[in-house]
Amino acid sequence: MESNNQDEMTIDLVKCFENFLRAFKRMWKTVLLLVLIGMVALEMKEILFFNTTYTSEAVFVPSADIEDTYYYDATQASGTKATLVDTFNSILTSKEMKNIVKDVLNVNKIPAKISATQVENTNLVVLKVTGKSAQDAYNVASAITNNCDTLTKDAMQDVSITLLDKPTMPQKADASPSYLLAGLKGGLIGLGASVLLLIVVAVFRRTILDKNDVREILGMDYIAKVPLVKKRHSNNPGLLLNGSGIKADFKHSFHNVRIKMEQDHRKNKNSVYMITSTVPNEGKTMVSINTAITLGQKGYKVCLVDLDMRNPSVEKTMRYANIHRTSLDYIKDKDVKLEQCIVHKDDIDVIFGSDISVDESTELSKPRLENLIEELREVYDFVILDVTPLYMMEDALLVAKHADSAVVVVKQDYAEAGDILDSVDELHDTLSQIVGVVLNSYKKTFYSSESTGYGYGYGYGYGYGYGRSK
C-alpha cells in the first residue's frame, strides 16, 4: 500500500513538472516579456532615482588628559572619559552646530547630511559629511571643523580637541550607478515572477494530457490518440491519410478510430455521427475527414458533410476548388437536389460547406436539415457531420437532434477540462450517445507508461462514459 502511495505521489510530481514545462512552452513570450519589463523597470529606476553622493571626512581626538590624545585604553577609561566622546559627537551633529554652518555658508538649509561616529576602542571621532556635490560636502565639513571649538569650549571645559585629519575635497563619488547590475536584478525579478506564474498555471490549470485524463477527469470513453505532427508546408495544409509523407503512427490512430466506429455501428445500429470539439483549433475537421476516409478505404459507403457554417474548412483541408452546391444551398433552397451537392473524392462522397451571412442557427432550425440527414441515412453506411465547436455556439446542438451519436475531439493540453465537461454535459442533454474522445496533437508525457508499439486497442470504449449503460 505504501509503495502504491509513493508511486502515485511520484506520478503527481512528475505530472506537475510536465504541466510546468508545457505552460512554459505556451507562455514563453509572456516569460520573456516579464523578464524584459523587470530589466527595463530597474534600469529606469537606476537612471531616474539614483542619487550620486560625495563624502568629506575629518578625524578628531577629544581628550581631557594629554596622554589620551596619543594613547587611549577603552578598557580602563573612566565614566567621565567614556561620556566625553559621546558628548563631542552630539555637539558635532547638534542643532546649534547646524545653525552655525547655515550662517557661515549663508544658506537656509544645510546641503548635506552630517554624522559623527567613534572608532571602536579608541577616542577617535570620525566626522562624515555627505552631499550631492563634492563642493557642498567639503564646505559643510570645513565649516564644522573651523567652528567646533566655539561650541566645545562652552559645553566641555578642560577638554582639548585635536584635529588629526582635515576635511578634503572628495575626488570621486561614493558610488556610481550600475546599469548592468540593475538590469540583472530586474531580469531575475521578472524571471522569478514568471516562474511563480507558471507554477500557478501548472497547479491550477486543468487540461487533458492522456487517456487516463479522458477517463478520470472527463468520465468519457477513450477512442484513440492522434500524434502531434509538425506544421506542414503552406502549399499543402491538409493532413490527410492518403496524402504524401504520412507516418505509420498517424495512420494507425485512425485505424483505431475506424475500429471503434465499426463497433458502435454494429452494436447500436448507428450511422450518423457528428464530430465536434469544445473550442476552435482542436482539429475536428481533420479528424472528420480522416475518419470518413479510413471508413471509405475499408469499403463502407461514406458521406462527409460540412455543417460548420461559421468556419467551413473541409474544402480547404481537402484542397477542392470546383464546388457548385453546398450543404447551406440545400438547406436554404428547396429546389436544390441532394445529388447536386455531392462530390466524390478520396473514396468518399463529400458535401462541402460555405460561409453564412445570417444567423446559422436560423438555417439549422429549418426542416431541410432533417431532410438532408435522413436522405443520407438511407443511402450511406456512415454519415460524418463536421459541426461547429460546442462551447461557442448552439449550432452543434441543433445538428445533434438529428445525429445518432457523436465523437468529441480534444486537443492535448489545450481546452480547460471544466469547459470540456460543461460543453459535453450540454451536448449529452440533447444526444444521449457519445462514442468517446479522440485525443488530438498527442505528444507522449514524461510519466506515460504507454508502449510505443502498435496495439490495436480493441478494448477501448467499454468504460462507463456517456451513452453507456452501467
What pLDDT shows up at residue 253?
96
Strand partners, 405: 273
pLDDT tens readout for residues 214-262: 999 999 999 999 999 876 554 445 688 887 788 899 999 999 999 999 9
In the sheet with 405-411, reading across from the earlier edge strand, the strands are 222-227, 436-442, 405-411, 272-277, 382-386, 302-306, 348-351, 342-345
What pLDDT shows up at residue 208?
93
Place of cell 480534444: 410
- Residue 467 belongs to some domain of the structure: no
pLDDT at 457 over 50: no
Q: Confidence class of residue 381 from pLDDT cuts 50, 70 and 90?
A: very high
pLDDT tens readout for residues 162-212: 899 999 999 999 988 888 999 999 999 999 999 999 888 888 888 999 999
> Do 133 and 105 fall into the same domain?
yes
Please provide the average confidence, as pLDDT, over all residues in the chain: 85
Q: What percent of the chain has pLDDT over 70?
A: 85
pLDDT at 394 over 80: yes
- Residue 457 belongs to some domain of the structure: no
Largest CA distance in the chain: 124
Instruction: Among 39-43, 61-65, 311-315, 355-359, name the one with the lowest average pLDDT.
Output: 355-359
- Residue 170 belongs to some domain of the structure: no
CB-CB neighbours of 378 under 10 Å: 7
pLDDT tens readout for residues 366-380: 889 999 999 999 999
Residue where one domain finishes, among candidates 138, 165, 192? 165
> Do 331 and 413 fall into the same domain?
yes
Instruction: Among 96-105, 298-307, 438-447, 456-465, name the one with the lowest average pLDDT.
Output: 456-465
Supply the range of the domain harboring residue 41: 2-50+177-202
pLDDT at 7 over 60: no
> Do 249 and 376 fall into the same domain?
yes
| Count: domains in the chain | 3
C-alpha cell at 337: 437536389
* Higher local confidence (pLDDT), 298 or 79: 298
The letter for the amino acid at 323 is I
pLDDT at 306 over 90: yes
Closest among 300, 272, 313, 280 to 435, alpha carbons compared: 272
- Residue 91 belongs to some domain of the structure: yes
> Do 154 and 183 fall into the same domain?
no
> Do 220 and 98 fall into the same domain?
no
Residue 428 near residue 464 (C-beta atoms within 8 A): no
**46-70 average pLDDT score:** 80
What pLDDT shows up at residue 6?
52
Phi, psi torsion values for 347, nearest 5 degrees: 70, 10
Q: What is the pTM of this model?
A: 0.67
Specify whether the backbone of 174 is left (phi greater than 0), alpha (psi in -120 to 50) or beta: alpha
What pLDDT shows up at residue 47?
87
> Do 310 and 212 fall into the same domain?
yes
